[in-house]
Chain A
Amino acid sequence: MTDDRLIILAPQDSVVVVRCGISKGETLIIGDDEIILGVAVSMGHKLALRSVGKGDAILKYGAPIGSATSDILVGEHVHLHNMKSDYTPTYALEGAQTEFEK
């Protein structure tokens, strides 16, 4: 049973998508796990549906979207800090995320 605020796109996926902004410290049910969210996440971001080892493929829509750059635990925010493209590196503006959250 997974929280209503999360979307599972394909059963084999390693991530769920956040349906709406969720604050740091909130409790979420992901599969059989109950986790406390370590960071605030905004709509459209991803959380780990299952634990992933460093170097393993990250699956979303049932397809690989890159690989983990560190071990990732269930419920952790999955983004640029712990995954990378297997094609071309991702360009992001530092500071833009904090600006967006305001």
Chain B
Amino acid sequence: MTMKGYLRQDGRKGIRNLVAVAYLVECAHHVAREIALPQREHAHVIGFPGCFPNEYAQSMMERLCTHPNVGAVMIVSLGCESFNRFQLEQFVRDSGRQVETLVIQKTGGTRSAIARGQAFVERAVEALSKAKTVPMAVSDLVIGTVCGGSDGTSGISGNPAAGRAFDRLVSEGAACIFEETGELIGCEDIMAARAATPELAEELRASVEKAAQYYATLGFGSFAAGNADGGLSTIEEKSMGAYAKSGTSPILGLIKPGDIPPTGGLYLMDVVPDGPVRFGFPNISDNAEIVEMMASGAHMTLFVTGRGSVVGSALAPVIKIAANPEMYGRLHEDMDVNAGRIMEGTATLDEIGTEIYEQVVAVAGGTQTKSEDLGHREFILTYKSFEPIGPACLPV
């Protein structure tokens, strides 16, 4: 399959050409949802619920509104929230995208705001449907990976198979991002040994130590009750399984949400906030992780699940990899890849790894993932605070 992409002004290429409908406070969420509804295939709702300013949320929204899969943006503001809508609009306009801001308080209320917004979206979708495409290669792709609803099968089947796919994508020049430092607790040493430089090794180790301290303050690990039902006993055990998603490539860099990988290669995303514990859990659900992958430019996310997550995502497709064959039997309509066959002994890690790689190429070429086709558009963004990454974190 030949991949074709939508070339953006910053040189990145999109595999979809969507309108983002972005609400800037929860009070504008309903209007945003109604605006997108008639064009739900082409217009995705994203947004930030908080009324009070947060630098992280501002930069995340800027990154998301200029994601390579986004071609135009409708900003929906109530009018009195603290979010800097002027800065967001300017950022999007400077990226070469069509953008309009709708302030509900100035538009005559809900009904007229929805009507104006729908008219913008309809025009934008029409314009985007005529956009020209350019050839695209695997080396143009940014791929994220997360796992959720993990069980004792995840770390044996789905996660290492995703790791094999990552190895191949990295070898062909793609940028691949794995995360969640809170789910790498116990893997510090083996992970640091894969760092491209000794300085990066220290950064990787420090990011996991930060996560361990953060979760210790909260009193809970990144571990849900269902993980234990599925046979996982400790956060270290869950971590070792999650770590397998990273494959075996050298680790080239450490990024934070919204940082765009500067080259191909394998990157760890540090998702745990810096400084004292302020806003609660780092990521309150799997979708928060997918959103952070998107903010760092991920064209799609590989999602390995044992217990059976059904979520998808706004803006960037999610490929669902079932780790557990019993769960695949129950939820096959939501699953793109059955890595549970590894548990049953009917497929090898390499075979499933190849299948995942082929799915990535097909989805980049326009094939819809299951969650995409089912209309899953989950999105969540909450308060966080980060320091910029250190000088040793990126390849020179």
Within 8 Å of chain B (Cβ to Cβ): is A44?
yes
Q: How far is the CB of A61 from chain B (nearest CB, A)?
A: 5
B343 touches A19 (CB 8 A): yes
Task: Determine whether the beta carbon of B221 is less than 8 Å from that of A85.
Answer: yes
Highest count of chain B CB atoms <10 Å: which of A84, A89, A90? A90
Contact (Cβ within 8 A) B155 A61: yes
Query: Shortest beta-carbon distance, A56 to chain B, in Å?
Result: 14
Least CB distance, A98 to chain B, in whole angstroms: 10
Number of B residues, CB within 8 Å of A: 39
* Residue A30, interface by CB 8 Å: no
Q: A61-102 CB contact bits vs B (8 Å, 1 = yes)?
A: 101111000000000001110011111111111001100100
Contact between A78 and B233, CB atoms less than 8 A apart: yes
B153 engages A80 (CB within 8 Å): no
What's the Cα separation between A3 and B229 when bound, in Å? 23
Q: Are B343 and A43 in contact (CB under 8 A)?
A: yes
Q: Give CA–CA (A61, B212) in the complex, Å.
A: 21
Q: Mark B189-216, 1 if CB is under 8 A from A, else 0.
A: 0100000000000000000000010011
Q: CA–CA, A66 to B221, complex, Å?
A: 14
Please determine whether A66 and B229 come into contact, CB atoms closer than 8 angstroms. Answer: no
Q: Say whether B234 contacts A66, CB under 8 Å.
A: yes
Q: Are B151 and A88 in contact (CB under 8 A)?
A: no
User: Chain A interface residue count: which class?
Assistant: 35 or more
The 0/1 profile, CB within 8 Å of A marked 1, for residues 150-187 of chain B is 01111110000000000000000000000000000111
Once A96-B226, A96-B229 are accepted as A-B contacts, the answer to whether A90 and B235 lie under 8 Å apart by CB is yes
Q: How far is the CA of A84 from the CA of B208 in the complex (A)?
A: 20
Q: A90-B221, A90-B234 are in contact. Are A17 and B228 (CB under 8 A)?
A: no
Q: Does B324 sit at the interface, judged by CB under 8 A?
A: yes
Q: Which residues of B contact A50 (CB under 8 A)?
A: none
**When A63-B186, A63-B190 are in contact, do A91 and B225 touch as well, CB less than 8 Å?**
yes
Q: A78-B233, A86-B236 are in contact. Are A92 and B225 (CB under 8 A)?
A: yes
What CA separation (Å) do A88 and B234 show in the bound complex? 8
- In the complex formed, the residue of B with least CB distance to A19 is B343
Whether the pair A44, B240 counts as a contact (CB closer than 8 A) is: no
**Residue numbers in B under 8 Å from A58 (CB-CB):** 233
Contact at A92–B234, with CB atoms within 8 Å? no
The smallest beta-carbon distance between B174 and chain A, in angstroms, is 26
Q: How far is the CB of B189 from chain A (nearest CB, A)?
A: 9
The answer on a CB contact under 8 Å between A65 and B225 is no
A80 to B226 alpha-carbon distance, docked (Å)? 13
* Top-6 shortest CB links A-B: A44-B152, A44-B231, A85-B234, A45-B231, A65-B237, A88-B221
Q: A89-B219, A93-B225 are in contact. List 13 more A-B contacts (CB 8 A).
A: A9-B156, A19-B343, A43-B151, A43-B343, A44-B231, A45-B231, A46-B233, A63-B187, A79-B228, A87-B236, A90-B228, A91-B224, A97-B228
